[in-house]
Amino acid sequence: MQDHAAAPLIAIVGRVSPEAKNVRGEAFAMGQRYSQAIERAGGIPVMLPPIPALLDDRIDQLLRRLDGLVFHGGGDIDPRRYGQELTAEQVYGIVPEHDEVELAVMRAAIDLDLPVLALCRGLQVLNVARGGTLRQDIGTEAHWMQYLPVDVVAGSRLAKALGTDRPEHCHHVHHQAIDQLGDGLRLVAQAADAMPEAIELESATWIVATQWHPEDNAADDDIQQHLFDELIRQASARR
């Protein structure tokens, strides 16, 4: 556990949440499980709200105050963001503010070499930010609400963080996947059916992304929690 006086500040890029309760009007929100996993690792989670006006010259100033970032799950990225028209009826949950803010924040984080853990939609944001594309629908429910093992490339940043080359209980909740890999990205994990499940940005000190949701069982599975622990170690080292 980190010294709380020097605990790294980890921003989670939030969501527009019109259904939030106990607030006046519409809200911004972030998932509790991400925050709890960061806290267990010794970090302090804060929300970066998806306000496009933040994307002027303040975004660089803002990110320089942070020690790391988490990009969490959510709806789909507008296919036009990766040069395609909408072709799959399964595409859901497109929110322009989410796309605009997350893509800009990801690119700025890469420029600043901030430690980043990008999860599910976050992996897709990383891929699109690097010029990659997505399969709009994978055509199977084999990766929807399923705990599955994943094979990880030995020696990768991901394998070192997890402490294993084969995490057994990875919670899959995705109907999309990487198609063309973005510039400088390395595929470092696959499921048994060869579905891409994790990537890393090779030029970065530590930018790691998983298609599965480690936060879902991190409270009970040390291997999944290790990802958040390593994010905090990287953020502390950067300080």
- CA 172 to the chain's CA centroid: 14
Please pick, among 102, 197, 200, 215, the residue that the annotation labels catalytic.
215
Reply yes or no on whether 120 is catalytic: yes
Burial class of residue 122, CB neighbours in 10 A (0-12, 13-18, 19+): buried
User: Token pair for residue 131?
Assistant: 């010029």
| Torsion angle defined by CA atoms of residues 100, 102, 105 and 109, in that order, rounded to the nearest 10 degrees | -150
Phi, psi of 84 (to 5 degrees): -125, 160
Q: Using DSSP bridges, classify how beta strands 144-148 and 170-173 pair: parallel, antiparallel or unpaired.
A: antiparallel
Phi, psi of 36 (to 5 degrees): -65, -40
Please pick, among 98, 143, 174, 213, the residue that the annotation labels catalytic.
213
Please pick, among 120, 175, 200, 226, the residue that the annotation labels catalytic.
120
Reply yes or no on whether 19 is catalytic: no
Owner of token pair 């809200």: 27
Angle of CA points 147, 159, 82, to nearest 5°: 70
List active site positions: 120, 213, 215
